Every structure is written in C-alpha cells, then in structure tokens.
Structure 1
C-alpha cells in the first residue's frame, strides 16, 4: 500500500518556482477537531521539504507559507498564534504575519544561495485544526532569482484535507503481487463507514463503499489499482487515495510508438493492421502467406540472360535472396527441341533437386518457348546444362523477393 501525495499546483508560466517542494502532514491524514465546542481542538503538523533540482544555485530572498485560518471548511487552523515554526537552514529566522496568515522565513543576509546539495525542511507544529471537514489550500511562495536577474515571486499550492475525526482508510493490499497473464488478484482494505469509496484501474471505476475486498479477474497487463475515499460536504470534499500494484508475467501491451534497438522475437502469431516498412533484411524461417494481393517483387531488380549458339552448355547462379528463376526453353530447329538439365543445390553443395526438361520442336508457325519455374531460397545455387545443339536458345529470368543485394551472381 502506498499513499498518493498531496495534490500540488505549480505556476507553469515564466513564474515557475526555482525551488521544488513536497508537503506531508502529521498525523496522516489530518483530522478535523470534534464538532463539540467543549472538546479541545486537536493539533497537527505540516512538514515541507524544499530543494533545488537544477545545478545552478538559486538566490532566495524569503519563503512564505500561507495557512488559512478561521472556522470555515477551507480554513485549516483556528489560531495560528498557537503554532510554532522553524526552518532547518542556518542563519534564517521566522515570524508570523497575522494580517496575511503567513509564516515568513528570511535569511539574516539579503539572500541565500540554495543549490542542489542544499535541501531544507520547514516544520510548522502544534497547529490547532478547526472543526469543519474540508480541503485547505496551503501556499508556499518564494522570492528568488538566478544570476544577477531581479528577484521574482512564485508559488506552489497544496490541498491539505481535514478528515472527520473517526475517519480511517488503510492497509490497501493486493494478493498475489505477481500473476500469470489472464490471472486474478484480490484487493483488500480497511476503512471507516463515514465516507464513500471507489476502486479505480484502467478505465474502470467501481463503487466499493459497502465492501472491503474485491477480486479482479482476467488481468492481462501490469495494473495499478487506486482506492479513493471521499468525505465531507460536496462543495469542498476531502479525498484520500491509496494505491496497490500487480505485475503480470508476459503481459499484453497496448502502447503508442515502439522502438526496439536490439533483437525482437515473436513466438506466436503477429498481426499488423497497417503498413509495415522493413528498411533492412527480413528473414522468415517458416511459412510466409498472404491473404490478399502482394507486392513483394516491386522493388527487386529483375535480371535476364539469353543463351544461344555461342553460349557454353553449362552455367551456374547463386541466389543472394529468396526469389524465382524463370527458365524459357526455345528451339530454332524444326525437328528438335531444347534439352536442359536443371539442378538446385544447397549452400554446402548438396543437390536438392534435378530436373530434365525438353521443349517441343518448333513448328511452321514459329519458335515455341517452354517455361520452367524454379523457386530459390537465399544462398542456394542453380545450374543449367544445355544438352542440345548450338542453335538451341535458353532465356533465364531472375525475379528476387526484396530490394537490397538482390542481384543474382553467376559463378
């Protein structure tokens, strides 16, 4: 179980504070004093931790903490004069400005440089908490600068809740903490009955006011669960939020852009609903199928060779990528066809297939060509042996699948 920190508002304009602040309370959460005026008021404490996140030191002229005082819901204290304040920085002093309801912290010098190694704490204790439940704005204002620029004021605001005296919300737990994809986790918590409670995760918002446990099933990704308790008047409610997390082994992912700098392995089906661009080699060790039209060879460089009377009767090619050899056999003789032996070999020289092909002789209507299609894997070799006469012709066409390095090499 973890607590979501106090809600903080920072000016994101040019007046953004040069220092960063975090606020905690004691007790956590603060409780409003009992409604019975005869019952003594309870007290609380604010602890503010300040730091400089940038390497360049900031000169700080003063820091003010505004705490609303009164009896209304947005007021935190009934009487700030009863509170005590201190700051951990050396040679700084503090005074209470009752007119502005501010504790003013100033250095004895005109200003103090605060760098990344100079963290400090402001502690305001024994604050009498008023009797009305609600959220109070606590404002931390600084006068600061960098270099020789003019000092400027900037503020950070925290919303601090005063909960009903008997309110509690604690021990928000998730069991187990690690599950398999599609598994379940059980959430449990403790809470008082004087508030409404919601369980939030993903896009789900469940009202759990009347229960203290909930089992979530079919969890497919790492999930953070938030338990939100709300009390007080709807015009100025107070909220407390706890969170718990579950980790999923081999989770489903739903993300925007994804950049993989190393190797990506897919052990199951990969579905792509849009275009895929591969700027380097794509290796498919299994079956590659297409349910629609394909354009695999558009970017490949087609090559062709035609052999006639002056061609040697034996020649071999190596396929640099997967593709198809189309072999066309022809004959100019009227009584003989073209005789061709085709062998396909693995990179280590193992003969995978041998085929003897003979084309039909030509007729009075002209030369006849017969086509043989030979699919090729990358780095495999194909050899042709022309056993016919010199007048026989063979046309070889290489159709590569891909772009880079797709030219077949004759060996």
Structure 2
C-alpha cells in the first residue's frame, strides 16, 4: 500500500451531492464535491464497491464522478485520507440516491397487502428458440381431430448458465370431445434467461394454444 500523502494542515470535503436524489431503474447519477487538493479520495458505494477519484479532482478542488447504472437505492460515501504531522487523518461525507422500482434481494418476504406478480399473458407460436425475459410459466395444449393421426407437443427448456435442458412432451391420440375429451397439455415453469424450443407435430387437422404467463414484465421472445 502506498503511504498516505502528507499535508501541512487539516483538509476538508464539502458539498458531496448527486445531481439527482431520485432516478429511474438503470439510470446514472453524477456526484460532485469540493475538497482540499492533495489527500487520497475514494468513493465507496453498493455492497462493497469502491473507486479512487483523485483524477476526478481539478486543481481548484472541484470533484466530479459519474456512477454506473443504478438498480437499487444506493448510499455513497467519499473518504479523504492523508497524514498531518505524521498522524493518519480520514474525513468522510455521505449521500444516497433513491432508485424507483429497484431490484430486491430478500430472504423471507411477507406481504400484508396486495401482491401483483403476474405480467401480461402472451400468445406464442411454436419456434426453434425463445428467450425468457423473466421467470414465468408456459401453458399449452395440442388436440388432434383424427384418431389415426396423433398430435405431439414438445417443449425443451435450457436454463441459463450450465443448466441441462429438460424436455416435456405430451400427445393427443383421440379426436373425442365433451366428457371424453383427451388432449395433450403442458404447464411448465421457466426460469428467467432460459432458452425455450417449442414444436408441434401432427399430420392431420389439429388445434393448439400456447400461452406465456410471466412473473413480471419479461416477454418470451
């Protein structure tokens, strides 16, 4: 570790302020401050992020730094470190920025009011590759109109990362309706980020429907 810079007198950090106190999800903020030139300055934020900002301070002691995209309400702390008469001295200032509709990582969650989890239901067609924009459920059926020509519905889900693909297949063998109706139905949970392959096969007239029910705003696209 490099030795702290030595200065002759105590130093100051003032007016550590974001350009916006509240931002939308994914926005950035620019933090500005006024300080004594010379000490080592570091901005700390998030869970354990930090960045040296000495090069963000001009010769008059005006500092400016733009954050990365913010996805949750974030506290920022700037520290200045130096030595005075051989003794280490650290000064800090802090501020915070509120993020609208933030990401959340929680343990146990209890809801006393109304919880809205379901997004807009989307009708989809068989395709070689979809990508799930959020967690959700794939619901569908296939129904043959000819007892001699079964209809097949197959869904393969490959989770993101190193997950192994899982295939669910159902068959409709009978054209009977009413109380004797027999169709092939699927209700499959799909993790967000998964790729999804959907195929329908039948040599006769048949009916089918496939619905994406997201837990959130992500589509299957």
TM-score (norm 2): 0.49
Higher relative contact order (CA 8 A, sep 6+): 2
Largest Rg, 1 or 2? 1
